Amino acid sequence: MTQSKRETERKYEPPSGGVAGLPDLTGVGPVAAVATAGPEELDAVYHDTEDLRLAASSATLRRRTGGPDAGWHLKLPLAGDTREEVWAPLSDEVPKSLRELALSRTRGAELRPVVRIRSTRTVRRLCDAEGGLLAELSLDEVRADAAASGGGRAEWGELEVELAEGVHAGLLDVVERKLRKKGIVRADSPSKLARALRETGAGAGAGAEPERCPEVVAGSPGAHVLAYVREQAGRLVSLDPAVRGDRPDAVHQMRVTCRRLRGCLRSYRSVLDRRVTDRLRAELRWLAGELGAARDQEVLGERIGAALAALPDDLVLGPVAARLRVWEVSHGGEVRSRTREALATPRYLRLLDALDALVRRPPLRAKATGKPARTMARAVLKEYDRLAGRIEEALALPAGRERETALHEARKAAKKLRYAAEVARPALGKPVARLGKRAKAVQSLLGEHQDAVVAQDALRGLAVAAHGAGESAFTWGLLHGLERAGAEARQRELTEVWRAAADPALRAPLPH
């Protein structure tokens, strides 16, 4: 059993004088009352791999006793001052559920104790006028010992301000202004673990810059492409726990990340040797395919459900809602299992390792070290030419399944242009950003078209199943007709949307 919550906090150097040096926060913002609790004795053993892979990615895993939330805690970084904290009950070994959530970072390496941190904690609870908890100020006296024999020891004080769940992050700014007036400043270390590793010597070598190829010249095409790959590869790792936890939109975001990486490696083959990157593209395509089943099912179910809810009651004949629920459950469980199985494979971990290796030891080609403008513009314009060819081919076909397939291929080409423009934006600026925005408009329109085409196939299947069970198929047929009309409308709109994207003025500023 695990529980998850969002934790938003900031750490400060302790005030001189300990608790007595803390300012009175009554009346600061919405704070109406302050209550003191403690002291508490907390004892945490932090676990990591031998080369501290969790610490290097700003994640922590600890087994803590004492306090109201004794147990195992896995903390994963989110944006700003916020982290995702996953709790599991106390046990002798690292819980399997937490090992899985950390897998994209550990890559299956053994987790072992690295440092023990004991804290004596005094807490001030900040409450609103109704007595609701807004935040907690925790003043800790910290003692850290390296787990390895012969390791060092360190002691320090620390002040932590943590928001209660659901409280706006602006309260942290209000409290910080009050603390500054008392001379209380932010702590140098982002976490107790980071400081403990540094001061006890347990983190020797941790946080060092990863190996980088000395041939990558700042501002070069190679530097721009590798920066994009590094960002997206890191995003893949960060999204992994959310996908495993069935978080809303997580599968979609990971699938898009795979596509961005594939698109970048494809568009910039003049920068990175395709003898290496083609294998990576194939593996990214495999992962996106495994994720795609879950995402497609999710989108399709939501689309049909929304269309059904919009119908007048007199047009809903038979147990339509019940049949849709059965269809969603029967298909949804299968595809979610497929996603989890993919993330549990050695193949997936090898892909993550290969992306890391690509960034550390990039297979640079000659054009990777030159000036970026012409090389990157050519890659973008090449993708534009491919999209233009796909659009012209699709529009020349008569209405029907063949044209629908051609429009789907054009949609994929629009994505490739959009992602190529994303990679080039730091080098080429607003002109390529405008072209990418137009490509996104084409992609979105054709995406709506493709969703309508796919929905028609699903609705036909539901109608057949309803008819076979002796139910009315009228409503399913009606929804099918609406989706067909929608697909035809998107095709009519395409001409205008494409005209805007194909405007030569968009491409004129790019070096040819």
AA identity, residue 385:
D
Residues 323 and 389 in one domain: no
Q: What is the pLDDT of residue 208?
A: 47
Same domain, 152 and 248: no
CA-based angle 110:112:113, to the nearest 5?
Answer: 165
CATH code at 97? Answer: 2.40.320.10
Which tokens hold the place of 429? 């600026």
Residue 370: pLDDT band (50, 70, 90) is: confident
CA gyration radius, the chain: 28
The residue from 306, 338, 370 where one domain ends is 370
pLDDT at residue 297, as a whole number = 77
Residues 423, 411, single domain; the answer is yes
**229 vs 220: CA distance, rounded Å:** 14
Residues 331 and 421 in one domain: no
Q: Could you give the number of structural domains in the chain?
A: 3
**Residues sharing a CB contact under 8 Å with residue 503, sequence separation 6 or more, in sequence order:** 438
pLDDT tens-digit profile of 267-302?
Answer: 999 999 999 999 999 999 999 998 877 667 778 888
Is residue 210 situated within a structural domain?
Answer: no
Residue 420 shares a structural domain with residue 334: no
Nearest 5°: CA angle at 158, between 154 and 160?
Answer: 145
CB 485 within 8 A of CB 322: no
In a domain, 209, yes or no: no
Element (H, E) at 352: helix 346-360
Closest CA to 196 of 106, 300, 282, 114: 114
Residue 135, token pair as written in the block: 């935040």
SS (H, E, C) 262-321: HHHHHHCCCCECHHHHHHHHHHHHHHHHHHHHHHHHHHHHHHHHHHHHCCCHHHCCCCHH
Backbone angles phi, psi at 46, to 5 degrees: -90, 135
Domain that holds residue 508: 372-512
Same domain, 313 and 387: no
Would you state the pLDDT for residue 212? 54
Q: Which of the residue ranges 142-146, 151-155, 211-215, 358-362 would you say has the lowest mean pLDDT? A: 211-215
Per the structure block, which two tokens stand in for 44?
């945490």
229 backbone dihedrals φ, ψ, rounded to 5°: -60, -45
Q: What is the pTM of this model?
A: 0.87
**Neighbour-count burial of 495, counting CB atoms closer than 10 A to its CB (0-12 exposed, 13-18 middle, 19+ buried):** exposed
Q: Is residue 205 part of a domain?
A: no
Predicted pLDDT of residue 291 = 87
Single-letter code of the amino acid located at 287: L
Task: Write out the H or E segment, with its range, that includes residue 199.
Answer: helix 192-200
Structure tokens that stand for 360 in this block: 């550390």
Claim to verify: residue 425 and residue 494 sit in the same structural domain = yes
Q: Are residues 361 and 498 in the same domain?
A: no
What CATH number does residue 252 fall under? 1.40.20.10
Residue 136's DSSP bridge partners are 125, 162
**Position 151 pLDDT exceeds 80:** no
Residue from 360, 411, 10, 361 nearest 173 by CA: 10
Q: What is the DSSP letter of 365?
A: -
